[in-house]
Structure 1
Amino acid sequence: ELTKVANRRDSHSQSNYFLKIAQQSSTPLSLISFDADNFKAVNDTLGHDMGDKVLVKLAVISTSMMRDTDVIGRVGGEEFLILLPNIDKAKAIEIANRLVETIAKYDWSQISPNLHQTISAGVASYTNETELSPLLLKADKALYSAKAAGRNCVKAE
């Protein structure tokens, strides 16, 4: 409700649907898993109300950058999942890099003075997964790689 994007259950349901299509038609499917860097510090120093405003703005920015056929979902506290049907890994990496850059360049002081928010993103693409969970795991591993690489970047699995 807060971010006006799909929730975890809906995101996973649509992911399963897109995975079936990719399997049946041999079309690409990519996922971008991203989350807000150092988000706990936002809640701790600025309060949960400001944290909520950051989450809403992340949803608005990511939604404005995607196609109507893409699905943006909030799947955890500050974690989002973007489903990119008919997008291969190289293009998904481009999209994720644009998203990371756009969020880093956004004027966050509109929400709170001295606020600067970034995200880390992980990209995974369907290869031959028969179920959703290994594909989500690839995206999560890529996201953790981005965080380990210093945040505010994209890594792919």
Structure 2
Amino acid sequence: MGSAASSLPSPIAGASESGRPRLTVERLARRTRQRRQIQSMIAACFVLDAAVLLIYAHSGTTSVLVAAGYALTGLALVAVYVLLSERGFHERFRDHYLVAPQSAVNMVNLLVFTYIAPEVGVLFLCNLFVVFGFGALRTSARQTAVVWTIMVLGLAALFLGTDKAIGMPTGTRIDRLGTMLVFALTIGRCMYLGIFSSSMQQSLYQSGVKLKEAYRRIEELAELDELTGTSNRRSIMRTLDDEIARCTRNGSSCAVALIDLDHFKRINDVYGHPIGDEALRTFAIGMFANLRSIDRFGRYGGEEFLLVLPDLSQDQAMRALERLRAIIADLDWSAFSPGMRVTISAGVTTLKPNENSDTLLARADGALYAAKARGRNRIASA
């Protein structure tokens, strides 16, 4: 089978080769083991083919020397590849399995033996299909074209440049046994090729799914506040800008509210930062449980939060915030610590024509300070 197995690396191995990253000792050792396993499979294929040639030799169709020469040549090639691999030669190349060179060398080897022993040429020619098929799994289009060209030129020289009659021995029962084994081994190797190709595609698909999920998770984490699970400042500001752009296009209304937890520094000082963190998380949960699906809520900074309320007028937004204020105030905060109480103040405003996020938030911030100045635990508008 020659270099047929030379394209049998793990689909995961070398997946990040494009950037030629610095490889760890562990990965280098793993790649060397993989190459060693591949060459072991190739050696086994040479031995199996030599056994079939011995069957032909037993019937007198070919010489024992052909079987011995084919086995020794194949094992010598394997030994060279293993020696180069163990010395790290393969790591100099992007394809550290050297699939294309191995495929080309083994195709030449098969064509030479077809010329030397044309009476059993069916064995060598069948192996050409297997070598090319396995090599094509890992080689680039250009490499595949080069290997194919070498094969075609060799076949042309063999069929058109000589008068050798390529044989498929069937003269005796032993010959038919040998030929049957040739086709059985070829079909078995092609089946293995199909199974490996399928498993490689499945592995790549699963890796793609995992990578996509990892990117999604990274993107999600990049947009979320770690403590409260709300959108972080960058994310909520991007949402606000998008909403302003939508309102500008459609002429629809939009309200925003800057919300602040009253006396939050005192909560941290009196009850401790762990309780303060729990208060922030509980506040966020209470808000999420009572918002519309189109509302967007994020941590603006510290204990300040920004609430974007699409399609609400000033009066509607005020009523919504008053309802949320009452809900937060009525939560059982004493469960965290006896006597603990948490309230919120908020500044509400609506988008004006041609207004940007800076001026919109400045007006909301002014309303928030007005709410605090009036005694906190209340809602003010601007």
Q: Structure 2 length normalisation: TM-score?
A: 0.41
The aligned counterpart of 1:75 is 300
User: C-alpha distance in 1, partners of 2:336/2:302?
Assistant: 19
The aligned counterpart of 1:100 is 325
* Bigger Rg, which one: 2
Q: Specify every segment of 5 or more residues in structure 2 that has no aligned partner in the other structure, as ranges.
A: 1-225
User: C-alpha distance in 1, partners of 2:237/2:269?
Assistant: 30
Pairs within 5 Å for 1:105-144: 105-144=330-369
The aligned counterpart of 1:91 is 316
| Contact residue 29 and residue 125 of structure 1 kept, 8 A | yes
What SS class does the counterpart of residue 32 from structure 1 fall into?
strand
Of 248, 271, 286 in structure 2, the residue corresponding to residue 46 of structure 1 is 271
Partner deviation per Cα, 1:10-69 (whole Å, 9 max, x = no partner): 010000000000111010100011110000001011111000000001101111111111
What SS class does the counterpart of residue 81 from structure 1 fall into?
strand
Q: Specify every segment of 5 or more residues in structure 1 that has no aligned partner in the other structure, as ranges.
A: none
User: C-alpha distance in 2, partners of 1:111/1:88?
Assistant: 36
Pairs within 5 Å for 1:47-62: 47-62=272-287
- What's the C-alpha RMSD, in Å, of the aligned pairs? 0.8
User: C-alpha distance in 2, partners of 1:22/1:111?
Assistant: 41
User: C-alpha distance in 1, partners of 2:332/2:252?
Assistant: 37
What SS class does the counterpart of residue 65 from structure 1 fall into?
coil
- Among the aligned pairs, what percent are the same residue? 38
User: C-alpha distance in 2, partners of 1:7/1:117?
Assistant: 22
| Contact residue 129 and residue 135 of structure 1 kept, 8 A | no
User: C-alpha distance in 2, partners of 1:82/1:93?
Assistant: 12
The structure that is strand-richer by fraction is: 1
Q: Structure 1 length normalisation: TM-score?
A: 0.98
User: C-alpha distance in 1, partners of 2:356/2:341?
Assistant: 37
Of 10, 18, 23 in structure 1, the residue corresponding to residue 248 of structure 2 is 23
Q: Which has the higher contact order (CA 8 A, sep 6+)?
A: 1
Residue 129 of structure 1: CA displacement?
A: 3.8
> Which aligned runs of 4 or more in structure 1 are off by greater than 3 angstroms?
none
What SS class does the counterpart of residue 75 from structure 1 fall into?
strand
Matched, 1:65 2:290: yes
